[in-house]
A = this chain, B = another copy of it.
Amino acid sequence: MMEVKVVENIYLLVLVTLLSVLQNAFFALKVEKECKIHNTHTSAFERVSCASRNCMDAYATFLAVMWCAGLCLSQAPAAFAGLIYVVVRHKYFVGYMGQSCQSTPGFLFGKRILFFLLLMSMVGIFNYLLVCVCDNNYTGYLETITKAASALLLIP
């Protein structure tokens, strides 16, 4: 009961947050496209600084989408996806810092996880609207499906 009440108080905010997350993804894609053309990060400082900045730029987006997914639908799968994101981010950062002869990873990372969290938030909002309009509550089913789906994130 409490969850529905909480969602009632935040669902519009969550919707706008999701929209801004989508916008962030659009910006990031643009930067990545330009990044592929210009490839002049040579010194160690520039590489590590660039890697950190890329991670930090995505951090607020990640936090926003993880909290929205956790509050709107189900806590455990959102936290699990967040945990995997942290691991992926670590691997990205370490890979970026490596030798310059290695292929440096792109501007974006953890796209699949962020997309999963975004989808979870949308399903949560949709379920809330369904509860309001049709009085059909599929929250139990959705939580089971989400838990099963979050295990798929472990596939590399």
Contact = CB atoms under 8 A, between A and B. Distances in A.
A35 B27 contact: no
Contacts of A37: 45
A101 to B, nearest CB: 19
A75 B10 CA distance: 7
Contacts of A109: none
A153 interface: no
Interface residues of A, number: 55
A143 to B, nearest CB: 13
Given A34-B44, A48-B31, A89 B13 contact: no
Contact of A48 (B6, B30, B49, B79): B30
A74 to B, nearest CB: 10
Contact of A31 (B30, B35, B52): B52
Nearest to A53: B57
